[in-house]
């Protein structure tokens, strides 16, 4: 082998398969030291070594080596993307590595892990797939959890904004580690557990985060003093998608009235629509209404829980999540938010 460097993406292909350098060395028949030197471009492989690496990684030699700066690692998207090139985050779930297309989020700003297009990764930063926990949730306070998770553990929490039933579907499909749900007005966790069993079956655990106050947000110029007054008035309503806890609360409030045609994607979207004058009323959390300077009429108290597979309870990232949520610092921060009750925060219950 020559000691002249040659750009390559051996490491990217190896990590996509979840292999160590020793495993790749065993499969290709070259030494682990040589694999390491090739990956950091301190060693250019001979023709036979390059062919052996390509055969082990089931790709072409030109996919691994060349003068191009593009990394030609295959892409395994969590779900289809429409863009020709897309920024992504990467995470490993149950031994499988997925790329998550970067999306607009109000939860926490995370640098993207790379850019992919045309079926291949074009550029990539340090791989943090095994250090990333993916949570699908609509909790507007999830940024606080992500920050505390990173600070206390050194791991990364990727929060994807999803309504409760959409979050549960991602969990059932094996595309997230955990899902946040609020689908019952019950004071206990039993209501959420029933909904989880109905959608996913058994084998899941609920981690209680808080009981929160959900209700009707109104613009300051609105004069309604009760929910009944608001429903009977001539107000422009902003709705939420079917499958969200807010939509179930809205249906409870409107009863036989038709649901609004205009929908917001999350709690803050509802508040923004009202604050900007596009609607007069909508359902969201007390926290969001007060942050936006809106009036708030409480409708119900709900349990907000995080659901994960019981079999994953000892996975380090999941254990870290439980530890952070149970920590005095996080519980104290959460309890200071309007409408969040943390008396039972951290309790576990199997579905």
DSSP string, 218-231: E-TT----SHHHHH
Question: pLDDT at position 21, please?
Answer: 93
CA distances from 137 to 38, 107, 157, 171 (A): 41, 10, 12, 11
pLDDT tens sequence across 128-159:
999 999 999 999 999 999 999 999 999 999 99
Q: What does the DSSP assignment read for 137-157?
A: E--TTHHHHHHHHHHHHS-EE
pLDDT mean across residues, the chain: 89
- On the 0-12 / 13-18 / 19+ scale of CB atoms within 10 A, 118 is exposed
Question: pLDDT at position 125, please?
Answer: 73
Q: How far apart are CA 68 and CA 91, in angstroms?
A: 26
- On the 0-12 / 13-18 / 19+ scale of CB atoms within 10 A, 133 is buried
Scanning the structure block, which residue is given the tokens 């109104």?
218
Q: How many Cβ atoms from other residues are within 10 Å of residue 44's Cβ?
A: 18
**Has residue 68 got a pLDDT over 70?**
no
pLDDT tens sequence across 209-250:
999 999 999 999 999 999 999 999 899 999 999 999 999 999
Question: pLDDT at position 73, please?
Answer: 55
- Beta-bridged to residue 341, according to DSSP, are 211
Least trusted range by pLDDT, from 50-59, 117-126, 271-280, 321-330? 117-126
- On the 0-12 / 13-18 / 19+ scale of CB atoms within 10 A, 85 is exposed
Taken in order of first residue, the domains within the chain and their CATH numbers are: 10-67 (1.10.260.40)
Question: pLDDT at position 39, please?
Answer: 87
């Amino acid at each position: 082998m020559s000691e002249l460097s040659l750009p390559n993406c051996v490491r990217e292909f190896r990590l996509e398969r979840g292999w160590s350098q020793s495993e790749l060395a065993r499969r290709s028949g070259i030494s682990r030291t040589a694999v390491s030197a090739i990956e950091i471009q301190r060693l250019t492989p001979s023709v036979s070594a390059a062919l052996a690496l390509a055969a082990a990684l089931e790709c072409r030699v030109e996919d691994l080596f060349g003068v191009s700066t593009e990394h030609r690692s295959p892409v395994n998207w969590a779900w289809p993307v429409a863009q020709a090139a897309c920024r992504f985050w990467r995470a490993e779930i149950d031994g499988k590595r997925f790329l998550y297309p970067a999306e607009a989020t109000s939860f926490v700003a995370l640098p993207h892990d790379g850019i992919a297009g045309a079926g291949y990764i074009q550029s990539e930063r340090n791989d943090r797939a095994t250090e990333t926990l993916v949570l699908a949730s609509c909790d507007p306070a999830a940024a606080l959890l992500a920050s505390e998770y990173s600070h206390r553990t050194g791991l990364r929490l990727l929060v994807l904004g999803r309504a409760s039933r959409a979050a549960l579907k991602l969990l059932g499909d094996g595309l997230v580690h955990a899902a946040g749900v609020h689908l019952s007005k019950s004071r206990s966790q039993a209501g959420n557990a029933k909904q989880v069993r109905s959608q996913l079956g058994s084998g899941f655990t609920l981690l209680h985060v808080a009981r929160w106050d959900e209700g009707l947000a109104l613009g300051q110029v609105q004069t309604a003093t009760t929910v009944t007054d608001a429903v009977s008035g001539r107000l422009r309503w902003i709705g939420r998608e079917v499958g969200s806890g807010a939509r179930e609360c809205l249906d409870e409030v409107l009863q036989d009235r038709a649901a609004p045609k205009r929908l917001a994607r999350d709690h803050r979207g509802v508040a923004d629509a009202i604050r900007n004058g596009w609607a007069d009323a909508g359902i969201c959390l007390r926290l969001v209404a007060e942050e936006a300077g809106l009036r708030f009429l409480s409708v119900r108290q709900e349990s907000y829980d995080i659901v994960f597979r019981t079999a994953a309870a000892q996975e380090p990232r999941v254990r870290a999540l439980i530890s952070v949520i149970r920590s005095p610092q996080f519980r104290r921060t959460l309890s200071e938010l309007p409408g969040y009750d943390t008396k039972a925060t951290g309790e576990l219950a199997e579905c």
